[in-house]
């Protein structure tokens, strides 16, 4: 503080108080109020004494400190060692002395009483000064301007505009700084201004650089930004922080902490934070704010998906919410949304038909005038695994083929078998006995073919005629089940295929063979023995690959026992694959009669085995020397694996090291190649193709490479950031050749923008209000110009060039003043008769 200015203010103040109190004393005495006059007189004497003391101090400073005018700061100090305790005791002593003097002078005229009390008080104060040894420390200091940090949000939400024809938030910020030039100039007189932008990181900037800032940051980490600024000015003088943001903090402000912890953090900044809200009301948006689903699921088990849809600034409306996979709608719901800002949870249930990775997407249509369209859809990945192969086996009557297959399935620990046998048919003679009394259990048609059907991986219909058991109404369910990704196998017998009445039914649509109709002439069964002949496709197909090498496989099939009896079919369907044929019988078109036929139907697969004597490959073969009947088990293991599309049977595997990546993040792809004996195939060459697109039919190729695997049959290939630079669904397709056969594999992963910057794009002024309040700053709200009188901390002392102490207590004049006051008080008491 400037000494001359302070001294002038004190002097004039004490002089004014002395005059006012003196006039009040005279008026009180003349009106007969002696007590009041005495009190006012004491106050007048004290103010006069203080005026005299101030003049003495000023004079002492001038006389004792040559060049004192060169000092621009001072402070009061006490040289005595008593400290605050001595000051308290001395002050109490002065009060006690004045009190005793007041009591001793009772009865004296008011003016005389006031004079004696004032003289004794003055003497006591003088003695207190000597006791405390006060001094004035004069300093010559130099100051430098401290810093103001202007912190500007440049995250993606700042690029939004509340109206289609209005400015964006970052443009509004630039206009604010442009219109605040006068305020910034006023601040620069005592401070220096530093400009920073922040999103996920903090960067120094300038007004010129802000002109081209497009606000593309991926997060609004307000807390991290404040921490960074405070750390950058650690040990330096910070006048304050001006925070300009829309307040849409994304996890960095109150993450993992309660309100108390947030307040403690803000107070620890030890500086004022003044906030400016860059957003405005009126933003319109519909967003998929959150999707809640398990990361893992079991195949053919219902998966629940909860999507939180958030609407902002829109009137009440109906919104179509769609769940898609592979670019195709899977489920849709029309949901009512109230007006204003609301969150509504929409629930979907899906049943993954196969093992693998599934990329699902929840989406809503873009509304008119919507500020953000990128948050109208959210993708996520579900890994589908298999617990056990769940098989439903329905047999029309007991038989050797039924017994062999059921026993094989029951002995497999990886199979959960549900089997039903018809022990008594409608043709059996049971006179006078009701049907329900001849059943071990009621046939649970509705439970099996409606309620539990989606939970099965495979359905086996073995020599089963559906008509007598009321299953006709559920055949459409079986067809739909296969189309959705299920597996269906129909085995031959006297009550199967055309003989079972399946012609023209929905099940016939899903089968890979055409059946004879009711107007076709000729037999539908043949009971002769035969050895099935592998077709060219059958030699290499997974179902009929009893040996990996084509030559070995052909030899194995020729050595199998003969089969007996076959169901005749009209033909194989055009898109089906005939694996084995009858050596003599022909179809209506003159082609060899199919015996084993495989085909795809929708997303599922079906298999037709038109004989009921495959059990001979196990029982009869096991009776031969050197044959354990393993080919029967091998055939059905292959068939089950193919029908359920089990990836464990693949010789080629490709896997990415994660299911989700950030844009431009490298992705590591592991390739594993197994030979025909399922052992590592060293030196094998694998072709990789990477495509981008949710719909596999329209995905676009973005990268390709050829990889040679090592001695362990594996290799790792890295997809660089240039491949994964754009958000979306990426598909990896791998191809290799093993023993002349092409094998394929695929994988899928997701590239998605990290964080939740645009999940809630509407600004949040409450966050900025809380920051300003907790730090002692001002919440300026939605302003257009910064105020020039904003409260900022003044610059602190940075250097003391000169310093000297002026002792007030050691002046001889002070001692003479004390003695004089005591002497005058003694004389006055003596003359008044109070000794």
| Mean pLDDT within 777-793 | 91
Q: Regarding beta strands 340-350 and 533-534, do their DSSP bridges make them parallel or antiparallel, or are they unpaired?
A: unpaired
Q: Measured between alpha carbons, how far is 802 from 800 in angstroms, rounded to an integer?
A: 6
**In the structure, what pLDDT confidence band is assigned to residue 258 with cuts at 50, 70 and 90?**
very low
Model pTM?
0.62
Q: Which residues pair with 805 in a beta bridge?
A: 137
pLDDT at site 264? 82
Residue 13, pLDDT > 60, answer no
DSSP per-residue string spanning 800-835: EEEEEEEESTT-HHHHHHHHHHHHHHHHHHHHHT--
Q: Cα dihedral sign for 662, 668, 674, 678?
A: negative
More confident residue, 433 or 649: 649
Question: How far apart, in Å, are the Cα atoms of 261 and each of 182, 497, 823?
Answer: 38, 73, 65
**In the structure, what pLDDT confidence band is assigned to residue 1 with cuts at 50, 70 and 90?**
very low
Q: Which residues pair with 566 in a beta bridge?
A: 526
Q: Measured between alpha carbons, how far is 825 from 823 in angstroms, rounded to an integer?
A: 5
**In the structure, what pLDDT confidence band is assigned to residue 828 with cuts at 50, 70 and 90?**
low
Q: Measured between alpha carbons, how far is 118 from 112 in angstroms, rounded to an integer?
A: 10
**In the structure, what pLDDT confidence band is assigned to residue 152 with cuts at 50, 70 and 90?**
very high
Asked if 464 and 395 touch (Cβ cutoff 8 Å), the reply is yes
Q: Which residues pair with 735 in a beta bridge?
A: 687, 744
Q: Which residue has the tokens 């026993």?
A: 407
pLDDT in tens, 734-745: 999 987 778 889
Residue 626, pLDDT > 60, answer no
Tokens of 128: 């207190």
Residue 222, pLDDT > 60, answer yes
* 145 closest CA partner among 239, 235, 243, 71: 239
| Mean pLDDT within 221-240 | 86
Residues 6+ apart with CB under 8 A from 497: 490, 513, 515, 524, 567, 569, 608, 610
| Mean pLDDT within 572-597 | 93
CA of residue 86 relative to chain centroid, distance: 62
Which range has highest mean pLDDT (1-10, 27-36, 350-359)?
350-359
Tokens of 451: 């309620």
| Mean pLDDT within 294-315 | 89
**In the structure, what pLDDT confidence band is assigned to residue 593 with cuts at 50, 70 and 90?**
very high
Tokens of 810: 């050691």
527: how many CB neighbours lie within 10 A of its CB?
Answer: 9
**In the structure, what pLDDT confidence band is assigned to residue 252 with cuts at 50, 70 and 90?**
low
* 564 closest CA partner among 608, 605, 603, 611: 611
Q: Over the range 775-797, which residues count as b (16 or more CB within 10 Å of their CB) and which as e?
A: bebbbbeeeeebeeebebeebee
Percent of the chain with pLDDT over 90: 36
* Residue 241: strand, helix, or coil: strand
Residue 527, pLDDT > 80, answer yes
Q: Measured between alpha carbons, how far is 596 from 407 in angstroms, rounded to an integer?
A: 22
* 247 closest CA partner among 151, 375, 320, 328: 151
- Mean model confidence pLDDT for the chain: 82
Q: Measured between alpha carbons, how far is 729 from 69 in angstroms, rounded to an integer?
A: 78
Element (H, E) at 555: helix 550-558
Residues 6+ apart with CB under 8 A from 262: 253, 254, 770, 774
Beta strands (DSSP E) in 58-113 are: 73-78
255: how many CB neighbours lie within 10 A of its CB?
Answer: 12
Q: Which of 6-10, 78-82, 124-128, 156-160 has the lowest mean pLDDT?
A: 6-10
DSSP state of 426: T
More confident residue, 695 or 244: 244
Tokens of 325: 């996979």
Q: Measured between alpha carbons, how far is 826 from 828 in angstroms, rounded to an integer?
A: 5
Residues 6+ apart with CB under 8 A from 84: none
Residue 522, pLDDT > 90, answer no
pLDDT in tens, 99-124: 887 777 777 777 667 777 777 777 77
**In the structure, what pLDDT confidence band is assigned to residue 549 with cuts at 50, 70 and 90?**
confident
Ordered strands of the 340-350 beta sheet? 285-292, 303-314, 340-350
Q: Which of 258-262, 485-489, 576-580, 648-652 has the lowest mean pLDDT?
A: 258-262
Tokens of 230: 């405070």
Residue 694 phi, psi (nearest 5): -70, -35
Residue 389, pLDDT > 70, answer yes
């Amino acid at each position: 503080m400037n000494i001359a200015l302070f001294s002038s203010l004190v002097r004039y103040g004490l002089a004014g108080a002395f005059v006012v109190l003196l006039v009040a004393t005279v008026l009180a005495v003349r009106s007969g109020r002696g007590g009041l006059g005495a009190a006012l007189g004491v106050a007048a004497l004290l103010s006069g004494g203080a005026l005299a003391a101030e003049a003495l101090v000023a004079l002492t400073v001038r006389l004792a400190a040559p060049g004192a005018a060169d000092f621009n700061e001072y402070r009061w100090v006490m040289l005595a060692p008593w400290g605050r305790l001595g000051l308290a005791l001395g002050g109490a002593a002065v009060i006690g002395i004045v009190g005793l003097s007041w009591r001793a002078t009772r009865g004296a005229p008011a003016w005389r009483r006031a004079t004696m009390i004032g003289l004794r008080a003055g003497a006591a104060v003088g003695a207190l000064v000597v006791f405390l040894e006060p001094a004035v420390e004069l300093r010559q200091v130099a100051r430098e301007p401290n810093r103001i940090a202007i912190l500007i949000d440049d995250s993606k939400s700042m690029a939004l505009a509340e109206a289609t024809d209005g400015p964006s938030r970052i443009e509004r910020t630039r206009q604010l700084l442009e219109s605040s030039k006068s305020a910034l100039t006023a601040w620069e007189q005592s401070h220096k201004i530093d400009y920073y932008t922040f999103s996920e990181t903090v960067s120094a900037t300038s007004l010129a650089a802000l002109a081209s800032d497009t606000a593309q940051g991926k997060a609004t980490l307000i807390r991290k930004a404040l921490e960074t600024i405070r750390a950058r000015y650690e040990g330096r003088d910070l006048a304050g922080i001006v925070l300009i943001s829309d307040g849409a903090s994304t996890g960095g402000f109150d993450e993992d902490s309660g309100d108390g912890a947030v307040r403690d953090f803000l107070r620890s900044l030890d500086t004022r934070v003044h906030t400016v809200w860059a957003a405005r009301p009126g933003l319109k948006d519909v967003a998929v704010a959150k999707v809640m689903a398990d990361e893992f699921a079991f195949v053919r088990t219902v998966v629940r998906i909860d999507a939180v849809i958030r609407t902002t600034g829109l009137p009440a409306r109906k919104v179509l919410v769609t769940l898609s996979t592979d670019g195709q709608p899977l489920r849709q719901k029309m949901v009512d949304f109230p007006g204003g800002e609301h969150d509504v949870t929409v629930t979907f249930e899906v049943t993954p038909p196969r093992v693998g990775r599934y990329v699902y997407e929840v989406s809503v249509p873009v509304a008119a005038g919507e500020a953000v369209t990128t948050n109208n859809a959210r993708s996520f990945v579900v890994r589908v695994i298999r617990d056990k192969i769940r098989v439903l086996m329905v047999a029309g009557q007991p038989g050797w083929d039924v017994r062999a297959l059921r026993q094989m399935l029951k002995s497999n620990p990886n199979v959960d078998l549900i089997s039903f046998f018809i022990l008594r048919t409608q043709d059996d003679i049971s006179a006078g006995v009701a049907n329900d009394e001849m059943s071990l259990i009621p046939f649970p048609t509705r439970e099996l073919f409606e309620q539990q059907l989606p939970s099965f991986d495979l359905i086996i219909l073995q020599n089963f005629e559906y008509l007598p058991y009321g299953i006709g109404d559920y055949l459409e369910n079986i067809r739909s089940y296969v189309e959705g990704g299920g597996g269906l196998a129909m085995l031959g017998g006297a009550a199967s295929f055309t003989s079972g009445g399946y012609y023209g039914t929905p099940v016939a649509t899903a089968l890979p063979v055409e059946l004879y109709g009711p107007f076709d002439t000729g037999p539908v069964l043949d009971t002769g023995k035969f050895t099935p002949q592998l077709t060219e496709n059958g030699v290499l197909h997974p179902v009929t690959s009893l040996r990996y090498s084509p030559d070995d496989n052909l030899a194995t099939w020729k050595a199998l026992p003969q089969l007996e009896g076959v169901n005749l079919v009209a033909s194989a369907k055009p898109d089906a694959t005939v694996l084995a044929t009858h050596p003599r019988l022909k179809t209506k078109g003159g082609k060899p009669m199919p015996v084993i036929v495989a085909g795809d139907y929708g997303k599922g697969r079906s298999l037709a085995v038109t004989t009921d004597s495959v059990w001979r490959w196990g029982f009869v073969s096991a009776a031969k020397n050197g044959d354990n009947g393993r080919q029967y088990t091998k055939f059905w293991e292959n068939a089950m694996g193919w029908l359920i599309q089990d990836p464990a049977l693949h010789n080629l595997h490709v896997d990415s090291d994660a299911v989700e990546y950030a844009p431009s993040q490298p992705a590591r792809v592991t390739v594993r190649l197994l030979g025909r004996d399922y052992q590592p195939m060293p030196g094998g060459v694998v072709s990789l193709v990477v495509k981008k697109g949710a719909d596999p039919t329209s995905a676009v190729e973005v990268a390709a490479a050829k990889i040679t695997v090592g001695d362990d049959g594996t290799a790792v290939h890295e997809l660089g950031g240039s491949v994964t630079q754009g958000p979306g669904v990426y598909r990896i397709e791998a191809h290799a050749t093993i023993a002349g056969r092409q094998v394929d594999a695929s994988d899928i992963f997701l590239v998605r923008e990290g964080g939740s910057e645009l999940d809630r794009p509407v600004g949040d002024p409450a966050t900025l209000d809380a920051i300003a309040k907790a730090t002692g700053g001002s919440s300026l709200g939605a302003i257009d110009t910064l105020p020039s009188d904003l409260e900022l901390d003044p610059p602190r002392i940075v250097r003391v060039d000169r310093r000297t102490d002026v002792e007030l207590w050691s002046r001889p004049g002070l001692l003479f003043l004390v003695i004089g006051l005591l002497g005058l008080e003694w004389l006055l008491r003596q003359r008044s008769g109070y000794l």
